[in-house]
């Protein structure tokens, strides 16, 4: 159910063009990437990650971090792996803040919140709400920190968590900073 177990690769024989499509169980087709060229002898690779398995993985690891009383941190290439990693990041945000999304998910949808852009997008979109409603959502977000494991901070002075913005968790940038400041 993960990228590794489903990976398929092939070497192209002769220059060609390909496109990436999702074909649903009902036969419906959704184009994910329009036609692009491949060179002769170029390797093309694909894999599948099932959402259910990913969500279960995040639930298990978040619960384990809470049980062991360790800091939860997510490090990816969410801006470089432009298709998969932002979606994975979005699922991590939704699982960590599950109580908030369970209660306000419909409203977030109406506001155009894109969870793949992180908790920062929630904060940005709720700015347009009446003060009382905005404060209620902010309080619900703060309540999550009482029940979930402690979350790594990108900027603790400003309250910016590891799940605020996908570009803040790029492994190349976030790991050295974490190691420098971890004591």
Average confidence (pLDDT) per 10 residues, the chain, 183 residues: 78 94 93 93 88 95 96 74 81 98 98 95 96 98 96 81 76 56 52
Verify that 111 and 157 share a domain, yes or no: yes
Verify that 88 and 134 share a domain, yes or no: yes
Verify that 64 and 132 share a domain, yes or no: yes
Q: Give pLDDT, residue 2.
A: 63
Q: Give pLDDT, residue 7.
A: 86
The domain total for the chain is 2
Residue 107 in tokens:
């409203």
Q: Please give the Cα distance from 67 to 78 (Å, whole number).
A: 27
Verify that 101 and 18 share a domain, yes or no: no
Q: Please give the Cα distance from 131 to 129 (Å, whole number).
A: 6
Residues 6+ away with beta carbon under 8 Å from 183:
none
Residue 6 in tokens:
């489903």
How many Å separate Cα 128 from the centre of its chain? 24
Q: Give pLDDT, residue 183.
A: 47
Verify that 176 and 99 share a domain, yes or no: yes
Verify that 42 and 57 share a domain, yes or no: no
- Domain membership of residue 17 as a residue range: 3-46
Q: Give pLDDT, residue 45.
A: 87
Q: Please give the Cα distance from 85 to 81 (Å, whole number).
A: 5
């Amino acid at each position: 159910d993960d990228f590794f177990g489903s990976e398929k690769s092939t070497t192209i024989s002769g220059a060609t063009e390909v496109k990436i499509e999702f074909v649903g169980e009902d036969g419906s087709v959704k184009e994910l990437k329009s036609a692009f060229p491949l060179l002769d002898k170029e390797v093309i690779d694909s894999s599948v990650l099932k959402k259910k398995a990913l969500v279960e993985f995040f639930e298990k690891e978040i619960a384990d971090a809470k049980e062991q009383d360790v800091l939860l941190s997510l490090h990816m290439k969410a801006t470089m792996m432009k298709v998969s990693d932002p979606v994975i990041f979005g699922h991590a945000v939704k699982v960590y803040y599950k109580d908030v999304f369970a209660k306000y998910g419909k409203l977030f949808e109406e506001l155009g919140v894109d969870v793949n852009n992180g908790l920062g997008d929630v904060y940005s979109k709720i700015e347009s709400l009446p003060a009382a409603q905005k404060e209620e959502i902010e309080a619900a977000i703060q309540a999550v920190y009482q029940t979930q494991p402690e979350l790594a901070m990108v900027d603790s002075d400003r309250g910016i968590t590891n799940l605020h913005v996908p570009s803040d968790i790029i492994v190349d940038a976030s790991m050295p900073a974490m190691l420098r400041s971890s004591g």
